[in-house]
Amino acid sequence: MLTNGTPELQIDRKDSRLVLAHILFAFGALFLGGIAGLLQGLVRGGVVKLPAEIGYYQLLTAHGVLMALIFTTYFIIGFLISGVSKTTGGKLLPISRHLGWLGYGLMSTGTVVGTICILLNQATVLYTFYAPMKASPYFYIALALVVVGSWMSGFGMFYQFGYWKKLHKGKVTPLFAFMAVTTMLMWIVATLGVAAEVLLQLIPWSFGWVDTVNVMLSRTLFWFFGHPLVYFWLLPAYMCWYVVIPKIIGGKLFSDALARLAFILFLLFSIPVGFHHQLMEPGISPFWKFLQVILTFMVIVPSLMTAFSLFATFEQAGRALGAKGLFGWFRKMPWSDVRFFAPFAGMLTFIPAGAGGIINASNQMNAVVHNTLFITGHFHLTVATTVALTFFGVTYWLIPALTGRKLTARINKLGMIQTVVWLVGMFFMSGAMHTVGLLGSPRRTAYTTYENHPDAFLWMPYHVAMAIGGTILFIGILLLIVNIVLLFRAPRGQEEFPIAEANASAEAAPRLFERWGVLISLVVVLVLIAYMVPVLDMINNPVPGSKGFVTW
Partner 1 sequence: MAKSTNLVPHKKDVPAKAASRTSGETESSLKGTFAAVLLLGGFIILTWAGVFLLFLARQ
Q: Which residues are catalytic?
A: 227, 231, 378-380, 443-444
CA distances from 302 to 229, 257, 298 (A): 17, 12, 8
Cβ-closest position to ligand HEM = 37
Per-residue burial over 287-296, b if 16 or more Cβ lie within 10 Å, else e, is ebbebbbebb
Q: CA–CA separation, 292 vs 503, rounded Å?
A: 36
Of 126 and 185, CB closest to ligand HEM:
126
Q: Which SS3 state, helix, strand or coil, does residue 210 take?
A: coil
Of 45 and 137, CB closest to ligand HEM:
45
Q: Rounded to the nearest 5 degrees, what angle is found at the Cα of 74, between the Cα atoms of 70 and 79?
A: 150
* Binding residues with ligand HEM: total (CB under 6 A): 29
Binding status of residue 319 toward partner 1 by CB under 8 A:
yes
Q: DSSP labels for 308-322?
A: HHHHHHHHHHHHHTT
Of 31 and 308, CB closest to partner 1:
308
Of 108 and 306, CB closest to partner 1:
306
- Provide the minimum distance between the beta carbon of 70 and ligand HEM in the complex, in angstroms, as a whole number: 9
Amino acid at position 183, single letter: T
| Dihedral sign, Cα of residue 97, residue 98, residue 101, residue 102 | negative
User: Out of 35, 506, 519, 522, which residue is the one contacting partner 1 (CB under 8 A)?
Assistant: 506
Report the chain's C-alpha Rg in angstroms.
Answer: 23
Q: Which of residues 359-378 bind partner 1 (CB under 8 A)?
A: 359, 362, 364-365, 367-369
| Dihedral sign, Cα of residue 96, residue 139, residue 278, residue 76 | positive
Q: CA–CA separation, 505 vs 320, rounded Å?
A: 15
Q: Which SS3 state, helix, strand or coil, does residue 294 take?
A: helix
Q: Which partner from the list ligand HEM, Cu ion, partner 1, none does 368 bind, CB cut-off 5 to 8 Å by kind? A: partner 1
User: Out of 11, 26, 41, 403, which residue is the one contacting ligand HEM (CB under 6 A)?
Assistant: 41
- Provide the minimum distance between the beta carbon of 250 and partner 1 in the complex, in angstroms, as a whole number: 13
Q: Which partner from the list ligand HEM, Cu ion, partner 1, none does 40 bind, CB cut-off 5 to 8 Å by kind? A: ligand HEM
- Provide the minimum distance between the beta carbon of 124 and ligand HEM in the complex, in angstroms, as a whole number: 11
Q: CA–CA separation, 15 vs 86, rounded Å?
A: 10
What's the burial of 54, exposed, middle or buried (CB within 10 Å: 0-12/13-18/19+)? middle
- Provide the minimum distance between the beta carbon of 477 and ligand HEM in the complex, in angstroms, as a whole number: 5
Q: CA–CA separation, 271 vs 190, rounded Å?
A: 7
Q: Which of residues 342-361 bind partner 1 (CB under 8 A)?
A: 351-352, 354-356, 358-359
Q: Which partner from the list partner 1, Cu ion, ligand HEM, none does 280 bind, CB cut-off 5 to 8 Å by kind? A: none
Binding status of residue 90 toward partner 1 by CB under 8 A:
yes
Residues that bind Cu ion (CB under 5 A): 227
Query: Which of these segments, 7-15, 36-44, 201-209, 218-226, binds ligand HEM (CB under 6 A)?
Result: 36-44
Q: Which partner from the list ligand HEM, partner 1, Cu ion, none does 227 bind, CB cut-off 5 to 8 Å by kind? A: Cu ion
Q: Which of residues 377-436 bind partner 1 (CB under 8 A)?
A: none
Q: Pattern 383-402, binding to ligand HEM, x per CB under 6 A?
A: xx---x--------------
Residue 440: CA count within 13 A, CB half-sphere: 7
- Provide the minimum distance between the beta carbon of 262 and ligand HEM in the complex, in angstroms, as a whole number: 23
Q: CA–CA separation, 347 vs 365, rounded Å?
A: 25
Residue 419: CB atoms within 10 Å: 24
- Provide the minimum distance between the beta carbon of 39 and ligand HEM in the complex, in angstroms, as a whole number: 9
Displacement of CA 420 from its chain's centroid (Å): 21
User: Out of 221, 317, 473, 527, which residue is the one contacting ligand HEM (CB under 6 A)?
Assistant: 473
Q: DSSP labels for 215-255?
A: HHHHHHHHHHHHHHHHHHHHHHHHHIIIIIHHHHTT--BS-
CB 351 within 8 A of CB 283: no
Query: Which of these segments, 145-153, 381-389, 397-405, 507-515, binds ligand HEM (CB under 6 A)?
Result: 381-389
Residues that bind partner 1 (CB under 8 A): 8, 11, 86-87, 89-91, 171-172, 174-176, 256, 304, 307-308, 311-312, 314-316, 319-320, 324-330, 351-352, 354-356, 358-359, 362, 364-365, 367-369, 438, 499, 501-506, 508-509
